[in-house]
Structure 1
Amino acid sequence: MTICRTMLLSSIFLLSACGSDSNTTVTVAEQVLPQGQFSLAISDSPMVGVSHVGMVMGELVMTDAEGVIHRHDLQDMTFNLLDFQGMDSHLVVDNIDLPLGQYHDAYVTIQQGDGNDGCYVEDGQGRHGLYVADGQLPVSDFEIVAGQHISITMEIDLYRGLSYQQGEYHLGHQAMWSVDNRYMGHLLGEVDPQWIADCETTYSDRTPIGGQFSHMAYLYPEEVTNIDQMTDMRTNPPEAVTLPTAVSPMMQDIDGNWHFAMGYLPAGNYRVGYSCLGHLDDPVTDDMTSGQFVMFKDSGSITIEAGTQGGQQTVHECGNGNGGHHGHHAPIYLGASTTKKIVSHVNDDYH
């Protein structure tokens, strides 16, 4: 009996007997490797003094466990990063299929800016080029599991990472992190107006030009237990103090209530500090020992919980709070469907 092999368009191989009265057909299905889905979003913390942080993204690059590099074209995706603050995020990659396994050395390439093309920053002095370290936005390692959708959000803390040098802005990696949306939460802060008034009165001799103090919330890891261990934004701090994990400006709503938000924080324990002297805190230099910056209040510890599906909101009252006003934020993030409010109340004396 002679055997002929024919390939069908449906990717199924057909084996049939030819030249014989008895036809025999055997089908063998082609092996299809299982896959999972991956999404990536980006968010940032608010920043005073700049109106646009223009991003131009080239591609998402990932390396699997076998050393194979995977690329996903972002087609020069362009957007203003400041449009996606706090709990808001911009979807960069939407539900793409990837083979199963571990992925590392992942990053998004960006087009370096010269003030005309590529990434840029607009402030009160005009438009400036934005240079991002290594031309990349790093993404944490992740694992693709069969039948699961992995959603990661990249958070950029502009206050800690963005600096102005020699006519252009620089964005460093030290102020970036990414988190699986199943294991993160959001912090909403309500600020006691008496804290605001007391800080401005105490440091009236340090009133900035224009008369507007920069009220800032500083978030520290749980090993910080008191205000003496809280340092400003800087590089290479001494062992006795700890750098903030995140920094966010405090905003005032139309009714005069002060509040702040920090989004996409890995679940865990933290501590909150407050100062009205953010205008004296340069992200690179030591402004506590060689400058005039002072941390005014220790607002106590806070636990960020992810909840059942990620994205739980935790409300923290600084002092006596402000009566429940925290900006009326709504949850906008991937992979979460429920939120829960937890109130943490601290009324420590300032240092």
Structure 2
Amino acid sequence: MMKSVKSVLAASVVLALSGCGSDSSSPETGTFTLGVSDSPALATNVTIGFDRVVLKGEQTFVYDVTEEGELKQVNLLEFQGQQVEQLVAGQEVPVGPYQMCIYMKNDVTGSANTSFVIAEEVTKGLVSTSQGSCGVADTDFDAENVKEEGRIFLNKKFDIAVGNNAFVAEFNLAKLQGPKGNKDYWTLKPTDVVTIENVSDVGAIKGNVTAELFADCEIEAGGADVNNRGAVYLFPAGASVAGDEGTVSMADFRTTDGYLDTESAPFTAARVDEEGNYEMGFVVAGNYSLGYTCVAQNDDPDMNDMAEEGGFFFFADAADVTVNLEEVTEVNFAVQ
């Protein structure tokens, strides 16, 4: 297998947040802004109909994000890498720790007016598996026993400080569950799919995969296939394709209890486009490894697909990838 470990620092991303002072005679407050972005799935459209955002702290704040009473529909595939669609802007709240719930409209039918996924030119509904009040009233169950209101509960606490605070809810759509059994719709498990990041704590990764490397990977996969899809996966530092001495093996997405001690679970993945480019936005500053595959379509988020002959595998890796605050790290994959 060919491996590329080229890693160079590219231009910085303007993500700096401006702070502002406060009047000592009044309670300290900060402004809250929330956007949504994604790490892409293999679908061609993943639209979520957003309803409201709830901040839970010592007080509870509810923000209606609908537009003229209609759901705010966002196709997350239009907001990849560092692109963000804003849900809440410049809301003043007391400083302190918070948790957050984002509410979406569940739909099992694939209606174009709510939440849906288009894959292989087929439209199916999309639901969140989480429900709950989060400080606001529940809704009734629909005929399919799936609540119309889906909750995306981000239980990791985060702080709002004096000044401007901008956060991004990052959707790892590679872990969406497709229709299975009697569930003829897509499923979003918030604890697996969504994380929240403060944009002042992150950088980004982008790069290119050459056509030659893609072709070599397809040979390894048994030959060219129109269904083959390239993707770059993000791993903790010290992961490699083969689990060389001193490292652990890069693994696919699967249930959390399905990993061996010798395997490393990926954080997220980014699609490689037709020009060979990929981008990961909102990566927390730190050290990482990257893995490349040309058969991302074979990665079922619930299964160990690497155990299947002719299933899923990584073809190349890049080690010692450093992400710095508010900067973009460029990592290219090529035949060496």
TM range (shorter): 0.7 to 0.9
Identity %: 24
1:227–1:298 Cα contact (<8 Å) kept: no
**Displacement after TM superposition at 1:237 (Å):** 1.6
| Ranges in structure 2 where 5+ consecutive residues have no aligned partner | 1-24, 131-149, 244-248
The equivalent position to 2:263 in structure 1, one of 241, 257, 274, is 241
The CA distance in 2 between the partners of 1:133 and 1:221, in whole Å, is 28
Q: Name the structure 1 match of 2:250.
A: 230
Q: Name the structure 2 match of 1:59.
A: 52
1:159 aligns with 2:178: no
Q: Name the structure 2 match of 1:340.
A: none
SS in 1 for 2:56: strand
The CA distance in 1 between the partners of 2:285 and 2:61, in whole Å, is 29
1:227–1:297 Cα contact (<8 Å) kept: no
Paired letter, 2:53: L
1:71 aligns with 2:62: yes
The CA distance in 1 between the partners of 2:293 and 2:73, in whole Å, is 34
The CA distance in 2 between the partners of 1:128 and 1:154, in whole Å, is 23
SS in 2 for 1:204: coil
The equivalent position to 1:170 in structure 2, one of 184, 187, 204, is 187
SS in 1 for 2:217: helix
SS in 1 for 2:289: strand
Cα 1:204–1:42 shift into 2, 3 Å: same
SS in 2 for 1:87: coil
Structure-to-structure mapping, 1:336-347, within 5 angstroms: none
Q: Name the structure 2 match of 1:33.
A: 27
Paired letter, 2:161: V
The CA distance in 2 between the partners of 1:279 and 1:175, in whole Å, is 17
SS in 1 for 2:307: coil
Cα 1:161–1:316 shift into 2, 3 Å: same
Alignment RMSD: 2.0
1:122 aligns with 2:118: yes
Q: Which deviations, in whole Å up to 9, do the C-alpha atoms of 1:60-102 show, x marking residues without a partner?
A: 11221x3x32222222322222221111110011010101222
The CA distance in 2 between the partners of 1:184 and 1:162, in whole Å, is 27
1:100 aligns with 2:95: yes
The CA distance in 1 between the partners of 2:201 and 2:272, in whole Å, is 25
| Ranges in structure 1 where 5+ consecutive residues have no aligned partner | 1-30, 321-346
1:304 aligns with 2:297: no
Q: Name the structure 2 match of 1:283.
A: 301
The equivalent position to 2:274 in structure 1, one of 252, 257, 261, is 252
**Displacement after TM superposition at 1:111 (Å):** 1.1
TM-score (norm 2): 0.76
Structure (1 or 2) with the larger CA radius of gyration? 1
The CA distance in 2 between the partners of 1:171 and 1:155, in whole Å, is 13
1:44–1:84 Cα contact (<8 Å) kept: yes
Q: Name the structure 1 match of 2:232.
A: 217
Paired letter, 2:261: E
1:42–1:91 Cα contact (<8 Å) kept: yes
Q: Which deviations, in whole Å up to 9, do the C-alpha atoms of 1:261-317 show, x marking residues without a partner?
A: 1111111111011121222221211111134222212222311111xxx3x211112
> Relative contact order (C-alpha < 8 Å, sep 6+): which is higher?
2
Q: Name the structure 1 match of 2:136.
A: none
Q: Name the structure 1 match of 2:7.
A: none
Runs (4+) of structure 1 exceeding 6 A deviation are: none
Paired letter, 2:231: M
The CA distance in 1 between the partners of 2:123 and 2:292, in whole Å, is 31
1:163–1:171 Cα contact (<8 Å) kept: no
1:227–1:273 Cα contact (<8 Å) kept: no
